[in-house]
Structure 1
Amino acid sequence: MPAENTTSSSAFAILSIHKNDSLRFLQFPDDIHANIQPVILATWPLGIQSSGPYAESYQYKLKGKPFGWANEQEVVGGFRVMRNVLAFLHEQSWQLVTPLVCSRKRGAKDTLIFRRRPLDAGPPVPMDWLAVALMGSDKLRVVYDAKDVKLSGGADSDHDHLGVLISGLKKALEAMDCFQKGDWSYDSFEFKLKGRPWLSQGEDVVKSRLLLLRIVETLDSSGWQSCCSVLQRTGNDDFRMADTWYFMRPKTQAGGGNETASLPRPGAA
């Protein structure tokens, strides 16, 4: 049944992920519903299949399967969609309170609860955003597209030197004897890890948790703070998907980008 009203004056609102392709906004004001559309379209090249009221919420149904068991290109695109939606809501003074799985249905994904910043709190600090995805049983993908990032590399560059962000993670993985190889694809960087840390058993479970600590420590040393982890993909009957981890850090004063992170061009490694 169509909703009579999809907006609210409440300080709290919800963004939820449904099926393989849908985002629903509950109790957000109407300007959020309208202004989020170009954010999605700029991030998701397949476009939007439909949008409009869904019960008391407002729903965007995307083409393809950004939140499903899809091809890898769509999976990476889904990370970008969620990352940019989170960034947009932050810019509009909506702070994430917590992600929550509130359904026991097979394939249920996270519900994200937000709170609006008080008007007297001032504007939010501009942030850059990064996604870290645990994929398959042995992959770690970093998705980072901040504007004005200084690029390094070239014909004579050392392909193993991947800039502050990637090389720092590579060193951490090597120190734990977890690094197997890494390369660019879909405008993001993917590490292939030794063993199967995301399907580990016995004492190896402890090592996989230590690996998570080294990842967050490495990112923290470059100024990235953990924003949230989101269960946004559908698994199958045998395996559930791991969360996608989102980080943010204040933009530098000059240039509006990450002056401290010098990333190589895609294809440079």
Structure 2
Amino acid sequence: MLRGDELFVDTVKHAIQATWPGGIQKECILVSGTENVHEVKLHGTPWNDCDGEQNFRCNQMMIRLLGELGGVGYKLICGTNLKGTMDSFFFFKEESYRVGASDFCILSLNNGDLIRLIDCNDMIESVENAINKSEYKIQRISSEYGGIEFKLKGCPWNCSGVPAIESRRLLCRISEELLAQVAQ
């Protein structure tokens, strides 16, 4: 965490401790030029596991992190992947900004054929409707680690040509369904 004040750092650490099963392994302060960087290493490999409980817990940790930071006025401006190996999130402090973890959910595309909904229980039907209106069919719906997983027939996230166009249409339909639900 670069330029994170004590409140920011403490809030991040609290969100990790509240949601990440392994907790924090170690912390240190690194010096980059003239600035300190607060580094927190977690137990396990939350950013590398695409399957199983660890993936769900990692996403739940991110929801909690955004919610707790939003609860003390830190607004997420953007996320980016620098150098292909380093995800970075940029926040700014806005005193009037207040959101909580319940204001966030995650829809993630995994393994070439999965849609995972984490903390999105009120959106399950909308996503299912969008899939049913698409070229893709649902092979399985399962409840996993407090989230919902749709397994689709085919590989919509790992294709090219016409199937890639169809997968983009599916994402547009899902977005339309979710935006219509939010607008209500």
Which TM-score applies when normalising by structure 1? Answer: 0.61
SS in 2 for 1:199: coil
2:98 alignment partner, one of 105, 124, 127: 124
Shift of 1:198: 0.5
| 8 A Cα contact 2:75 2:97, kept in partner | no
Which TM-score applies when normalising by structure 2? Answer: 0.87
Q: Which runs of 4+ in 1 moved over 2 A?
A: 122-127
Structure 1 residue aligned with 2:133: 175
Structure 2 residue aligned with 1:94: 74
* Pair 1:29-2:5 in alignment: yes
Q: Deviations over 1:175-195 (max 9, x none)?
A: 114222211011110000121
Provide the C-alpha distance between the structure 2 equivalents of 1:142 and 1:67, rounded to a whole number of angstroms. Answer: 17
Where in structure 2 are the equivalents of 1:1-269 lying within 5 Å? 25-55=1-31, 56-69=36-49, 71-104=51-84, 108-117=85-94, 119=95, 122-126=96-100, 128-144=103-119, 164-178=122-136, 179-223=138-182
Provide the C-alpha distance between the structure 1 equivalents of 2:139 and 2:172, rounded to a whole number of angstroms. Answer: 19
Provide the C-alpha distance between the structure 2 equivalents of 1:111 and 1:141, rounded to a whole number of angstroms. Answer: 22
SS in 2 for 1:84: helix
Structure 2 residue aligned with 1:252: none
| 8 A Cα contact 1:177 1:194, kept in partner | no
SS in 1 for 2:170: helix
Provide the C-alpha distance between the structure 2 equivalents of 1:172 and 1:139, rounded to a whole number of angstroms. Answer: 14
Tell me the percent identity: 25
Shift of 1:30: 1.1
Cα separation, partners in 2 of 1:191 and 1:222, compared to 1, 3 Å: same
Provide the C-alpha distance between the structure 2 equivalents of 1:58 and 1:77, rounded to a whole number of angstroms. Answer: 23
RMSD: 2.1
Provide the C-alpha distance between the structure 2 equivalents of 1:189 and 1:167, rounded to a whole number of angstroms. Answer: 11
Cα separation, partners in 2 of 1:70 and 1:210, compared to 1, 3 Å: closer
Q: Which amino acid aligns with 2:125?
A: S
| 8 A Cα contact 1:173 1:211, kept in partner | yes
| Higher-RCO chain (CA-CA 8 Å, sequence separation at least 6) | 1
Q: Which amino acid aligns with 2:175?
A: V
Shift of 1:142: 0.2
Q: Deviations over 1:148-195 (max 9, x none)?
A: xxxxxxxxxxxxxxx752122111101114222211011110000121
Cα separation, partners in 2 of 1:134 and 1:69, compared to 1, 3 Å: same
Larger displacement relative to structure 2 (127-136 or 94-103): 94-103
| 8 A Cα contact 2:105 2:117, kept in partner | yes
Provide the C-alpha distance between the structure 2 equivalents of 1:37 and 1:48, rounded to a whole number of angstroms. Answer: 8
Where does the alignment leave 5 or more consecutive residues of structure 1 unmatched? Answer: 1-24, 146-162, 225-259, 261-269
